[in-house]
Chain A
Amino acid sequence: MSLKNKLHDIKESLKGKKMAPLFGGFHTFLFTPNDTTQSGGHIRGADDLKRTMNMVVLALVPCLIFGMFNAGYQHYLALGEIKHTASGFFNAEFWTSSNFIVGFWKIIPLVIVSYVVGLGVEFIFAIKKGHEIEEGYLVTGMLVPLIVPIDLPLWMLAIAVIFGVVIGKEVFGGTGMNILNPALTIRAFLFFAYPTWMSGDKVWVEGARAASGSADGFSGETVLGTLAQGKEMATSVLDTFYGFIPGSVGETSTLLIVLAGLFLIFTKIGSWRIMLSAIVGALVMGYIFNMIAPSMEGTKFYGLMSTEFWHHLLLGGFAFGVVFMATDPVTASQTNKGKWIYGFLIGFLSIAIRVFNPAYPEGVMLAILLMNVFAPTIDHYVVQGNVKQRLKRIKVKTT
């Protein structure tokens, strides 16, 4: 008997039992189910949610691998074991196995904890509520390790994931029903619960925190952190574009994120409207700050205000947030018109928060979470526009 038939028999024997969703979760990963259409049209398109989510995970893989190399690179750079020489994206000092190994052993545990804990919570809810296991966490589980500092203790990550999945998603009814982006909810939880592990100049480079205070202590600030303190930026623009800078695990390489964004637009999985309008929004805000920066010289805002407006796109988690988080269809605006407004405000607010928030010079997380909350309001007014048009049609007739 083939594997297919064996699994089919197990599925039949579990029907109606508590463990059915759990088995189904694994079974449907191996085989697309034998469900046929029961109402309405008799044929269906090729796409399902698993395929859709899988595209986003695929787009994230290059960022993950780059993050592993970068973790080692930043580590050895800070220790002074290697010297920084800018020589293009395929720079020989960066793509070394020793860099990769450092990153691999730090990042794989983050990925495993994220998936095991997150999917565990999903399984518990699926069994409790008797519905199928939904694939929303496939993407979230991959996003989370990429947006945290590399030295984050695993137990903190686990607690944050539980919080994010339960409060961010399951209490609203699961995949498709949540108001806030679950991955950002997890990050926001970490940010407010364990701020010393999530910000400052000691968390972005592997080993920096452990070594701090000792004789060979080193610091690893993000570029944004440097700028926020009004210091000169020591990194070249190309390095910020390629991603050879300290930061959260997977968000440093703007180049790879742009490629992933183009992939998502090409596959029609990610909304180009949101990505484009967010970039426009960021440029507009950045430009406004550039204009007023000269009058602010001497204030603590000057460093980031005077950063060239286009350079903001390359710094911090902006690009990552815009491509992977802002485009989450569930928490974004759902109407096409609404997406323009939603995206624009995310870009606009990201840069505003970045400049004005002294404690934490990255605004994209808070900007997206804020706009998540306002997305239904934006949609409401867009849909009302359609409703009003419909009412106008009658009025034109009756007059």
Chain B
Amino acid sequence: MSTDIKIKKGLDIKLKGEAKKELSNASRSKIFTVYPEDFHSIIPKLSIKVGEKVKAGDAIFYNKFASPVSGEITEIIRGEKRKILAITIHADATDSYKDFGAKTPSNLAEPQVKQQLLESGCWTFIKQRPYDVIANPANSPKAIFVSGFNSNPLSADVTFALQGKEEAFQTGIDALIKLTDGKVHLSVNGNDSFLNNIKGVSLHKVSGPHPAGNVGTQINKINPVNKGEVVWTVNAQDVAIIGELFLTGKYNTERVVALAGSSVENPKYVTTKIGASITSILDNTNIADNSRVISGNVLTGKNVGKDGSLRHYNNTITAIPEGDDYELFGWTKPVFNKISTTRALTFSWLTPNKEFDLNTNTNGEHRGFVLTGTYEEVFPLDIYPMQILKSCMYKDLDEMEALGMYEVAPEDFALTEFICASKQPHQEIIRKGLDLMLKEIG
């Protein structure tokens, strides 16, 4: 079954430095790092000690969060109040895997599938709405959503990144089907892809500008979350990791990652593993000085720096120039090299296909909300963006609920944040709002 969805509101941000479709292997990272902060709202309880040997798939904390590789735990980095910031693992030259046993998901019942996912650490790939946190295994979702394409700027091409993993992807979908009484929705953008032939899913062809590829947009158009309902979401590449678990019994966190951005000398795709150091992913690729290295895409990723690592949910490493410089009369002179949705002496509307080289400058100072109607132009969800942001700021739980807070994740507000003339931190406001709801309502 296939249904077509047309997204009208949105904005494609075209940037320089798109990854060429050449795949190479990253060098083996010596150090892998696991960051508990990737798993939002989880407070880790360690199940290992420094010096202990682990296999790929061995739990390292809270008995569900697994090591991406085999090796020796070298350090547990703590911050204020002894909060665990990171766990580093000195990796073996080749991984040895904990064997969870190969199984065919279609022959399993729901509890067995859940158990396999939970024990192996693959459960962390399943997130839920409301609240955009790791799914609660006690729930039964009304549907599961997988977006088969990316519309974020410079992010990895899903079909390309999944080549050779077609069987694993299908097996992963087979496993997800077991987890819901409803449907598993897979969205594609109409390009030639093996995803068009995946069995057992409800296939949707989504067209239009970004955020067409965001799973939040697709949920809102296909089967929006109501109060008391839960939907789960899984990134397409992680469906393949789940599939491989069932095919081989191994927790293999191998991922094809796009290395992109205008600061990257030779943008391309590389094969690596979750937690690998950025240095190993870059290998011999140079990054310009004074650049920001982001795990993820420029709209939702995390600033990790050259010394950071590939984070748990990311399939892109982006490097763009830092914008820590002043610009003479930047507020009044005509602008040709930045993106704008207005025509206020900004001329990006003249060059819709130009690839821009944007830096991290905010292009102005933080202000109160002033302009109205601008967010709506890039926000396809059936929600009033400014009103919901304000309700988060004054922490009115009833209003947040009424305005649709159960449906949203911070990433849905990445575009409104991008075009905001008041330079308000939309994603942070939504994240804090969701955290408040999670705490108060749960």
Q: Is A29 part of the binding interface, using a Cβ–Cβ cutoff of 8 Å?
A: yes
- Whether A43 and B346, one on each chain, are in contact in the complex, defined by CB atoms closer than 8 angstroms, is no
Q: A-facing mask of B305-338, CB < 8 A → 1, else 0?
A: 0000000000000101011111111111001001
- Whether A48 and B423, one on each chain, are in contact in the complex, defined by CB atoms closer than 8 angstroms, is yes
Looking at the assembled complex, report how far the CB atom of A34 sits from the nearest CB atom of chain B, in whole angstroms: 5
Looking at the assembled complex, report how far the CB atom of A5 sits from the nearest CB atom of chain B, in whole angstroms: 9
- Whether A44 and B418, one on each chain, are in contact in the complex, defined by CB atoms closer than 8 angstroms, is yes
With a cutoff of 8 Å between Cβ atoms, the chain B residues found around residue A29 in the complex are 331
Q: In the complex where A36-B361, A330-B370, A383-B403 touch, is A41 in contact with B348 (Cβ < 8 A)?
A: no
State which of A171-179, A205-213, A242-250 sits at the interface with chain B.
A171-179
Task: Kindly state the separation between the CA atoms of A155 and B244 in the bound complex, as whole angstroms.
Answer: 80
> Which A residues, 256 to 285, have Cβ-Cβ distances below 8 Å to chain B?
266-269, 271, 273
- Whether B362 and A269, one on each chain, are in contact in the complex, defined by CB atoms closer than 8 angstroms, is no
Most buried by A among B15, B335, B373, B410: B373
With a cutoff of 8 Å between Cβ atoms, the chain B residues found around residue A177 in the complex are 368
Interface size class of A (residues with CB under 8 A): 35 or more
Q: Is B285 part of the binding interface, using a Cβ–Cβ cutoff of 8 Å?
A: no
Q: A-facing mask of B358-383, CB < 8 A → 1, else 0?
A: 11111111111111111010000011
Q: A-facing mask of B333-357, CB < 8 A → 1, else 0?
A: 0010011111111101000000000
Q: Is B384 part of the binding interface, using a Cβ–Cβ cutoff of 8 Å?
A: yes
- Whether B326 and A33, one on each chain, are in contact in the complex, defined by CB atoms closer than 8 angstroms, is yes
With a cutoff of 8 Å between Cβ atoms, the chain A residues found around residue B420 in the complex are 44-45
Task: Kindly state the separation between the CA atoms of A386 and B325 in the bound complex, as whole angstroms.
Answer: 43
With a cutoff of 8 Å between Cβ atoms, the chain B residues found around residue A336 in the complex are 373, 376
With a cutoff of 8 Å between Cβ atoms, the chain B residues found around residue A386 in the complex are 382-384, 403-404
With a cutoff of 8 Å between Cβ atoms, the chain A residues found around residue B410 in the complex are 40
Q: In the complex where A39-B428, A268-B341 touch, is A44 in contact with B387 (Cβ < 8 A)?
A: no
Closest to A35 in B: B362
- Whether A28 and B331, one on each chain, are in contact in the complex, defined by CB atoms closer than 8 angstroms, is yes
Task: Kindly state the separation between the CA atoms of A175 and B404 in the bound complex, as whole angstroms.
Answer: 28
Q: Is B13 part of the binding interface, using a Cβ–Cβ cutoff of 8 Å?
A: yes
State which of B59-67, B274-282, B296-304 sits at the interface with chain A.
B296-304
With a cutoff of 8 Å between Cβ atoms, the chain A residues found around residue B15 in the complex are 43
Q: In the complex where A52-B344, A55-B345 touch, is A46 in contact with B339 (Cβ < 8 A)?
A: yes
- Whether B367 and A397, one on each chain, are in contact in the complex, defined by CB atoms closer than 8 angstroms, is no
Closest to B343 in A: A267
- Whether B330 and A49, one on each chain, are in contact in the complex, defined by CB atoms closer than 8 angstroms, is no
- Whether B326 and A42, one on each chain, are in contact in the complex, defined by CB atoms closer than 8 angstroms, is no
Most buried by B among A43, A176, A386: A43
With a cutoff of 8 Å between Cβ atoms, the chain B residues found around residue A41 in the complex are 298-300, 414, 417-418, 427
Task: Kindly state the separation between the CA atoms of A51 and B404 in the bound complex, as whole angstroms.
Answer: 32
Closest CB pairs A-B (n = 7): A48-B364, A32-B330, A176-B368, A40-B427, A46-B338, A50-B331, A31-B326
For the complex with contacts A48-B362, A176-B368, A397-B226, 12 further pairs of A-B residues with Cβ separation under 8 Å are A7-B326, A33-B326, A42-B294, A42-B299, A42-B320, A47-B344, A48-B421, A49-B422, A134-B367, A136-B370, A271-B372, A386-B384
